[in-house]
Amino acid sequence: AQKITQTQPGMFVQEKEAVTLDCTYDTSDQSYGLFWYKQPSSGEMIFLIYQGSYDEQNATEGRYSLNFQKARKSANLVISASQLGDSAMYFCAMRERAGNQFYFGTGTSLTVIP
Amino acid sequence: DAGITQSPRHKVTETGTPVTLRCHQTENHRYMYWYRQDPGHGLRLIHYSYGVKDTDKGEVSDGYSVSRSKTEDFLLTLESATSSQTSVYFCAIRSGHSPEQYFGPGTRLTVT
């Protein structure tokens, strides 16, 4: 079974609007971490945001926030006030605390329209 | 930016030849990882290391071996390259004190 599922291969958003990128995960562990990474067309992988399974507040980093719904096993990324530079691939990932491995989703391609 | 370099950045090689990719870090981080990225698959873990001489397999380890003789270097070897190993390879590092990984710039490998 897939550990991380990203069901939106491609998304479009108008500049200055907010957008939500979906991520669901599968684990039986109680302790785990969830991550989002950005990959622009230049190819590098950029760490955006982290959420621990025991964190009570949703994580935020500037215009990025992680909408963590533990019962639904979802960890959606919300980008507010989209900018043209946000156009990129976005990957959701998880690490179970008991292990060292990270599991990545297949990614969502976001295009910001001027 | 985390101090991670990968070499070479691009390589074209022939089927059946051995290939070694190098990941070098200046952060003294404990954990190092090798991934491959292919369209439709995201990033898949090949091998990782949790210390000098301590390594373990990931989900797509067949055909690959690794070595870590120094904290700063993690080598990925394709003993006999195949066309299915054409991919972009990323190295990543993680300290024992933070949850996130930081990635190197990637190596584009083409096996003809």
Question: How does pLDDT run across B40-81, given as a tens digit for each residue?
Answer: 888 999 999 999 999 999 999 999 999 999 999 999 999 999
Q: A35 to chain B, minimum CA–CA distance in Å? A: 7
**Residues 27-46, chain A, touching B (beta carbon < 8 A):** 33, 35, 37, 43-46
Of B43, B56, B100, the CB nearest to A47: B100
Half-sphere exposure of B1 (CA within 13 A, CB side): 9
pLDDT tens digits for range A15-63: 999 999 999 999 999 999 999 999 999 999 999 999 999 998 999 999 9
Give the C-alpha separation, A32 to A9, whole Å. Answer: 25
A72 token code pair: 């639904």
In chain A, residues with a C-beta closer than 8 Å to the C-beta of B50 are 100
Percentage above 70 pLDDT, chain B: 98
Residue range B101-109: mean pLDDT, rounded: 97
Of B31, B42, B50, the CB nearest to A104: B42
User: Cα Rg for chain A, rounded, in angstroms?
Assistant: 14
A94 token code pair: 């998880």
| Residue B1 reports pLDDT greater than 80 | no
Task: Compute how many other C-beta atoms are within 10 angstroms of the C-beta atom of residue B102.
Answer: 21
Exposed / middle / buried, residue B101 (Cβ in 10 Å: 0-12, 13-18, 19+) = buried
- pLDDT for A33 equals 96
pLDDT band at A2 (very low <50, low <70, confident <90, very high): confident
| Residue B2 reports pLDDT greater than 70 | no
Give the C-alpha separation, B98 to B30, whole Å. Answer: 11
- pLDDT for B97 equals 87
Of A46, A91, A95, the CB nearest to B43: A91
pLDDT band at A97 (very low <50, low <70, confident <90, very high): confident
Name which of A84, A1, A74 is nearest A34 in CA terms.
A74
**Residues 85-114, chain A, touching B (beta carbon < 8 A):** 91, 93, 95, 100-107
* Cβ contact, residue pair A44, B102, below 8 Å: no
Residue of B nearest to A52 (CA): B99
Question: Does residue A105 sit in helix, strand or coil?
Answer: coil
